[in-house]
Amino acid sequence: MATEGGPEITALLAAWRDGEPGSRDRLMELAYPELRRLDHRKSRLVELRYFAGLTVEEAARALDISVETAKRDWRLAKAWLLAELTRQNPAT
């Protein structure tokens, strides 16, 4: 499947899928600050899942939300982050 986005994002996404060290961190560095500004709960979920390594269930308990809400927020946050990366680096 082709990945939309600029060359940097395309390369980073490919590197992330290949497990290249540091690629995931760079992707987060590019898009996470805006999510944090826009949606506190989803950004906290990303922090707990991404940075702290918690499971969805553990993060849901920490945020005092249902597991289903955490799963939905996690899907939306991941989709939003990818969309933000694409927006920041449109195809040329």
Closest CA to 68 of 81, 56, 58, 52: 56
What's the mean per-residue pLDDT of the chain?
A: 80
**Is there a contact between 13 and 91 (Cβ–Cβ < 8 Å)?**
no
pLDDT at 58 over 60: yes
* Range scoring the smallest mean pLDDT among 13-27, 44-58, 60-74: 13-27
Using DSSP, state whether 69 is helix, strand or coil.
helix
Q: What is the pLDDT of residue 65?
A: 98
6, amino acid identity: G
What's the whole-model pTM score?
A: 0.70
Query: Residues 1-38: pLDDT tens digits?
Result: 333 445 666 676 677 667 777 777 777 787 788 888 99
**Percent of the chain clearing pLDDT 90 (strictly above):** 35
